[in-house]
Amino acid sequence: MKGKLMYDVIVVGGSFAGASAAMQLARARQTVLIIDAGTPRNRFASEAHGFLAQDGRAPAAIMRDVHRQLLRYPTVEILSGEAVGARAIDGGFAIEASGGREHSARRLILATGVSDELPPIPGMNERWGETVLHCPYCHGYEVRDRPLGVIAAHPMSAHQAILIPDWGPTTYFTQGQFEPDTAELEGFAARAIIVERTPVVELIGEAPALDGVRLADGRFVEVGAVFTAPKTRPTTSLAAMLGCVHEDGPTGPYVKVDPWGATSVAGVWAAGDSATPMHNATLASAAGVLAGIGAHQASVRAKAG
């Protein structure tokens, strides 16, 4: 790496978590390279909700403003592209970007996010982010007062279902696999949740709108939107390449971090959906702030001896 610029920090991922980390570092006058593939998890949603001062704006518009603000700081660079490799080097880390060029930094922040794998039901993918949803706090208000469904995808789906009646009358589809227990059934009764044990086999209507679902026995059930919990997986293997410890969450693995976002590998932090089982834009941004501060304070400690 001799002769090449070594940044203070490389941030991989330029959405809510990564950009929030980079902002703290920029304001601490750290040299920062953001490598952003431009494929955030929320790109399928037309609007972001529940994010302070940004409610109702398109996620892409929010990030354009954020990147413009970051580039006002002279120590920040943004590279459009994918980070495809990561390794430890003397004094820090090297990240290989698409195209083969390598960039080095003393510390890394991984804000790479996760990818969603929806239940394999025809009609799900083309409605994702509009009438097929995962977070009622993010999108429930926009589908309020419609008949709503929860398509069970894992053992926590019953917990998800108990929330939904505050937005509309709710049917819980067990898919023949995720039967509520006795206590959950009592909660369902108190919340007037209908339990349907025949599996959903198709979503009906002109996408992205939803008229209802067809069941395996041919019946049609009217619903205006459905909630489900997709399986999640890291969008990149960078954390695994570096040896970061992962934990198993209810929908998939995530990077184990301490309260400041530090991973099990010294000099590497992680933030956002790839580093928590709780997925929300505000939480991702807050985690990015902590990771950025944590990385800067590690630099201070190193210089102070």
Q: What is the CATH number of the domain that holds 254?
A: 3.50.50.60
166 with 260, same domain: the answer is no
Task: Indicate whether 23 belongs to any domain.
Answer: yes
Select from 205, 208, 221, 137 the least CA-distant residue to 173: 221
Task: Indicate whether 1 belongs to any domain.
Answer: no
Measured over the CA atoms of residue 163, residue 168, residue 171 and residue 173, the dihedral's sign is negative
Amino acid (one-letter) located at 166: D
110 with 250, same domain: the answer is yes
Task: Indicate whether 146 belongs to any domain.
Answer: yes
235 with 111, same domain: the answer is yes
Q: Cα separations (Å) of 18 from 102, 170, 271?
A: 19, 36, 7
Which residue, chain included where needed, has tokens 């089982």?
277
16 with 158, same domain: the answer is no
The residue from 199, 228, 257 where one domain ends is: 228
218 with 284, same domain: the answer is no
10 with 56, same domain: the answer is yes
Over residues 142-153, the pLDDT tens digits come to 999 999 999 999
Measured over the CA atoms of residue 234, residue 236, residue 237 and residue 242, the dihedral's sign is negative
Torsion angles phi and psi, residue 239, rounded to 5: -65, -40
Q: What is the pLDDT of residue 4?
A: 62
Q: What is the pLDDT of residue 284?
A: 95
pTM of the shown model = 0.92
243 with 111, same domain: the answer is yes
140 with 111, same domain: the answer is no
Select from 90, 98, 78 the least CA-distant residue to 10: 78
Q: What is the pLDDT of residue 2?
A: 40
Q: Looking at residue 164, what DSSP letter applies?
A: G
The residue from 228, 251, 273 where one domain ends is: 228
296 with 237, same domain: the answer is yes
Per-residue pLDDT of the chain (305 residues; tens, 9 = 90+): 344 689 999 999 999 999 999 999 999 999 999 999 988 888 888 888 888 888 989 989 999 999 999 999 999 999 999 999 999 999 999 999 998 899 999 999 999 999 999 999 999 999 999 999 999 999 999 999 999 999 999 888 999 999 999 999 999 999 999 999 999 999 999 999 999 999 999 999 999 999 999 999 999 999 999 999 999 999 999 999 999 999 999 899 999 999 999 999 999 999 999 999 999 999 999 999 999 999 999 999 998 97
Count of the separate structural domains present in the chain: 2
Q: What is the pLDDT of residue 202?
A: 98
110 with 238, same domain: the answer is yes
The residue from 178, 211, 228 where one domain ends is: 228
Q: What is the pLDDT of residue 183?
A: 96
43 with 80, same domain: the answer is yes
Task: Indicate whether 152 belongs to any domain.
Answer: yes
110 with 29, same domain: the answer is yes
Size of the chain in residues: 305
C-alpha to C-alpha distance for 248 and 146, rounded to whole angstroms: 34
Residue range(s) defining the domain that contains residue 124: 119-228
